[in-house]
Amino acid sequence: MTSQNQPPQGEPPQDQPPAQAVSNLPVFQTVVTALPLTYGDPALLLRAAAGGLILVAAAAAIFLVAPNIVTLLLMLLFAPLAAYSHFGVNWYRIVLLGPEGLVRPTLRWDRRHWRVFGYALAINFATLLLLVVLTLILPFLGPFLGLAVIYLTARLSFIFPALAVEEDYSLGLSWRHTQGQGLRLMSALLVTGIPLYILLSIILNQVFTMLIGMRVAAVAALGPQNADVLAQMATQVSPVAVVTAMMISTALPMAVLAVLFSIVAIAFRTCTGWVPAASATVADVFGDGDDALHGGDRP
C-alpha cells in the first residue's frame, strides 16, 4: 500500500501500510464531499453501472427462457450481487483514481471482480448468520443487533476499495485502520443511507405493484424457501415486466450504493493515507486500455 507516512530522514521510503488510522474521519465533510462526487456526473455513474446492469438483464433473460428454481435464484440472488460487485470495482476505482480508473471494456470481469464478489458473499453471509444467531440468543436487543452488524461491516469495508485498486490488503488491515473510526464511518453511512433507502423503498414498491402486481415486501416474504412459488408467479407475468422490474430494482439500489461506496473510498483514503497511483500506471497490471486511461468512452 502506498501511504502518506514518511520514513525518518535518511531512511529509504517504506511501501508499508500504516499501523493505524493516520487521520480521523470527518463525518460531515465526508458526506458533503461524497454526494456531489457521486451524483455530479450521471453519465459517468451510468457507465460504471452498465456492466452490472447487463449481467442482471442476462440473468433475467435466462430465467425467462428456462424458468426454474435454479435460474430464479440466479436472477434474484447471485446476479444482483455480481452486478453490485462489478459496479463496486468500477466506482471505487473512479473515486480513488478518477474517471480514468473505469475498467474497460464494459463487461470485463477479472481477478478484481472475483475477489470483491467473494469477499462480499462471505461478509454478507457471515454477518447475516451472526445476526440470526444473536437474535435467537438476545431477542430483547432488537434493533441494536442490526446496528452492531452495520458497525462490523463498516469496520471491514476498506477491503473493497483496496481490492478494486489491487492493493495488497486484508480484513485484518481494514479492522486495524478503522480502529477508533468505526462509529464515525457508520454514522456517515447511516446519515446518508437511511433517507435514500426510505425513498428507494417507496419507489420500488410503486414499481413492483405496477409491473408485477405485488409489493416488494410481499415478494420478499415468500423468500427463497418458496422459490417454486415465485418461479410460477413470474411465468404468469409479462416477460417485459419481469426484465424491467429486475433492471429497475438493481439500478436504483446501485444509485444508493454508489454514494455509500464513495463514503467508504473517501474514508479508506483518509484513514490509511492512501495516495492514488499516477494516471499513466493505472492500467499497467490489467491492461484496461488506453481509452480508459484518457477518459475515452469506447464501450
DSSP readout, 148-177?
HHHHHHHHHTTHHHHHHTT----HHHHHHH
Pure H helices in 66-165? 69-73, 79-97, 111-137, 143-156, 159-164
Evaluate whether residue 263 is within a structural domain: yes
Evaluate whether residue 2 is within a structural domain: no
> If phi over 0 gives left and psi between -120 and 50 gives alpha, with beta otherwise, what is residue 215?
beta
Q: pLDDT at position 94, please?
A: 95
Q: pLDDT at position 295, please?
A: 38
Q: DSSP assignment, residue 76? A: I
Evaluate whether residue 254 is within a structural domain: yes
* Domains of the chain: total: 1
> How far is CA 219 from each of CA 55, 76, 169, 222, rounded to the nearest angstrom?
22, 11, 38, 6
Among the listed residues 296, 276, 274, the one whose alpha carbon sits nearest the alpha carbon of residue 18: 274
Please identify every stretch of the chain with a pLDDT value under 70, giving residue numbers as ranges.
1-15, 213-237, 275-299
Q: pLDDT at position 187, please?
A: 96
The radius of gyration of the chain from alpha carbons, rounded to an integer in Å, stands at 20
For residues 121 and 78, the answer to whether their CB atoms sit within 8 Å is: no
Residue 237, burial from CB neighbour count under 10 angstroms (0-12, 13-18, 19+): middle
Evaluate whether residue 5 is within a structural domain: no
Please list the helix, strand and coil fractions of the chain in percent, rounded to the nearest 5, in that order.
Answer: 70, 0, 30
Among the listed residues 71, 38, 56, the one whose alpha carbon sits nearest the alpha carbon of residue 193: 38
Q: Is the peptide bond prior to 105 cis by the omega test (within 30 degrees of 0)?
A: yes
Evaluate whether residue 245 is within a structural domain: yes
Evaluate whether residue 179 is within a structural domain: yes
Evaluate whether residue 1 is within a structural domain: no
Evaluate whether residue 41 is within a structural domain: yes
Q: Which domain holds residue 196?
A: 27-293
DSSP three-state, residue 7:
coil
Q: pLDDT at position 72, please?
A: 79
Residues in the chain: 299
